[in-house]
A and B are shown apart, each in its own frame.
Chain A
């Protein structure tokens, strides 16, 4: 079950159970996720991979009927401890969603949103700096530098998704969660996002849910396979794809590729 990590894991999950009302969605998930790398969650629809992803920044707290049991540690700190404010946690665990969701504001205000609410910049020059760095890091700066005051909703789908990534980067997170970040994009935009993910890997712990086996193989160093709410197998991507231990993993992977 242990993903190969050179040092202490960035995210450590032990015996995580998640319930929606009386229905159990995740069963006893144990997983270590290393820093500065990309980890993919794969599995059929409804297998619980997105649910687990949303446990890591406590987004499930916003769903009334959802209940999480077990321990998830970020850098050794229990994120479900009583004294942890989920609002603060989410500043260090950013998230990118399936469908690009820029706010109906200008490109600049979209990226500046997080720094503003967290008071990261003391003056406008500093804020300009954060916006520029974030957009550059997200590979969007060259395309939008001369129209920062135009609405973010006017960009193309791929640009919107990179804008949203820039928005997440702007609050200086340590972990970035991505919930099928390319499923609403065309192949060219997808390639750009994958390239970006590969670049970001040097600075962040990236955890990505994907339905595309090929994408998991291309961009991630570690892969975890979920099935029916259970974590079946996790390990280096190469091993999962070429020599899985579990027959279910084997079936899922080969079934897809025929």
Chain B
């Protein structure tokens, strides 16, 4: 029974194709000897018929494939004897799962006469639901087919109908993106609210100590659980700052070199190489920071008499800066190239040198776009996790010394949520609150950078 679904899908595809050809031929036939008498091209009539024959049935099949099991589970629960339905939720859940496993030939964790009974019920319910869906699908396909077929004639405005269907498809696709975002925000919000019902929001936002270990037993000592997020955000901003100090000048100057000074042949080679940096997985940057940059910084610092560790904000920040160079350079390069050649010509014609032109005309003209590029790079740096986990450590120090290990918001979220966790302790829930604040910050940065970029666009239209 389970294998019926792919088969039905394949049959539906074939039927849809047949419907397309049939609709097209019918439209051609209805036009008689004058093909130009058709309102729409024959292909549109074919598509119209195919949509009516295929789409409703396809939607039903897809929904059944996604949620069919849940429906059958629910039906089974209602069909179970009274004493089993009275079981606690977890046991009932286990029972249903075992019954399903037995019914489809899987392995169950236990067997009993009641379970075998339930498995049989499950199998028959499943069979019935499949048959029901198949009947529904066949009815929809034939119904849609004949309904649409009757409408096709020379005057029928198939094109308008097909385009309306395409419009609906476009709306549905963008709705998926919007709704997903909404869902993420809502789940962040609800979990965060649960956290804030246990911990004061002001303590969280302005507290200076981060030590999320809560006591499991009442007599544990030293597990106070303090949730002051300031050290995490301070660490995040310290590393972001170091990264931007590296990435902003290097990226910007290489963009200026590429767009203003490099010969086209040089540019063709250098630009892709620079963009390879963006393709290196962040884990690999993490190795690099941990094994090469970190020890180098420690040795250098010790050589000049400073205490330092292998894991430090500096090594994470430096490597992250290298990682986001291509962001800055690639975006700035596009922006600089968008500055009209007429402006450069105007400057050269005044007797300005190339450097004067870049400094006084091209750069100011591109500045808003460059700001946008830098802000996008900042939100990338804030959200980066892997390099920091490996290179900056996990101790929540509130420090401005780049040689000390620090930790960031994203790293803490990872450590809070990995491993066995219970989802009702403040420790776990704090991850969502951190995520929410981070989301608000990067959202704000993105909005600002988009605004800036838009302002720049208006200038040259």
Contact = CB atoms under 8 A, between A and B. Distances in A.
Contacts of B351: 87-92, 114, 117-118, 171
Nearest to A115: B350
B360 A117 contact: yes
B343 A59 contact: no
Nearest to B351: A91
Interface string B350-364: 111100100011001
Interface string A87-102: 1111110110101011
A79 to B, nearest CB: 13
B459 A97 contact: no
A101 B345 contact: yes
A101 B356 CA distance: 17
B347 interface: yes
B459 A104 contact: yes
Given A103-B361, A103-B365, A104-B364, A97 B352 contact: no
Interface residues of B, number: 21
A62 B347 contact: no
A168 B345 CA distance: 12
B459 A171 contact: no
Contacts of A95: 345, 349
User: Does more than half of chain A's interface fall in helix, strand or loop, or is it mixed?
Assistant: helix
Given A97-B345, A99-B342, A101-B345, A117 B352 contact: yes
A49 interface: no
Contacts of B356: 117
A195 to B, nearest CB: 23
A113 interface: yes
A153 to B, nearest CB: 7
A164 interface: yes
A120 B345 CA distance: 21
A59 B263 contact: no
Contact of B350 (A105, A153, A168, A177): A168
A64 B263 contact: yes
Interface string A64-90: 100000000000000000000001111
Nearest to A116: B360
A167 B346 CA distance: 10
A57 interface: yes
* B344, B349, B364, most chain A CB atoms within 10 A: B349
Nearest to A118: B351
Given A117-B352, A171-B350, A62 B365 contact: no
B173 to A, nearest CB: 38
Contacts of A87: 351-353
Given A64-B263, A117-B356, A117-B360, A101 B350 contact: no
B348 interface: yes
B183 interface: no
Given A97-B342, A103-B343, A57 B361 contact: no
A85 to B, nearest CB: 9
Contacts of A59: 345, 348-349
Contacts of B65: none
User: Does more than half of chain B's interface fall in helix, strand or loop, or is it mixed?
Assistant: helix
Contacts of B353: 87
Contacts of A92: 351
A117 B343 CA distance: 16
A118 B353 CA distance: 10
Nearest to B350: A114
A90 B357 CA distance: 14
A118 B352 CA distance: 8
Interface string A122-149: 0000000000000000000000000000
Contacts of A118: 351
Contacts of B360: 103, 113, 117
A17 B360 CA distance: 34
| Size class of the contact patch on chain A | 20 to 34
A120 to B, nearest CB: 11
Interface string A36-57: 0000000000000000000001
B340 interface: yes
B337 to A, nearest CB: 16
Nearest to B365: A104
Contact of B364 (A101, A105, A171, A177): A105
B452 to A, nearest CB: 15
A156 to B, nearest CB: 16
A73 B342 CA distance: 27
Interface string B436-461: 00000000000000000000000100
Contacts of B348: 59, 62, 90
A187 to B, nearest CB: 23
A113 B348 CA distance: 11
B283 to A, nearest CB: 42
A101 to B, nearest CB: 4
Contacts of A105: 364
B369 to A, nearest CB: 12
Nearest to A105: B364
* A62, A94, A153, most chain B CB atoms within 10 A: A62
Contacts of A164: 346
Contacts of B347: 103, 113
A227 B448 CA distance: 54
A101 B348 CA distance: 12
* B340, B352, B360, B364, most chain A CB atoms within 10 A: B352
Contacts of A97: 342, 345-346, 349
Given A64-B264, A94-B350, A103-B364, 6 more contacts: A87-B351, A90-B349, A90-B351, A95-B345, A103-B361, A113-B361
Interface of B: 263-264, 340, 342-353, 356, 360-361, 364-365, 459
13 contacts: A59-B345, A62-B344, A90-B349, A91-B350, A94-B349, A97-B342, A101-B343, A103-B343, A103-B360, A113-B361, A117-B351, A153-B459, A168-B350
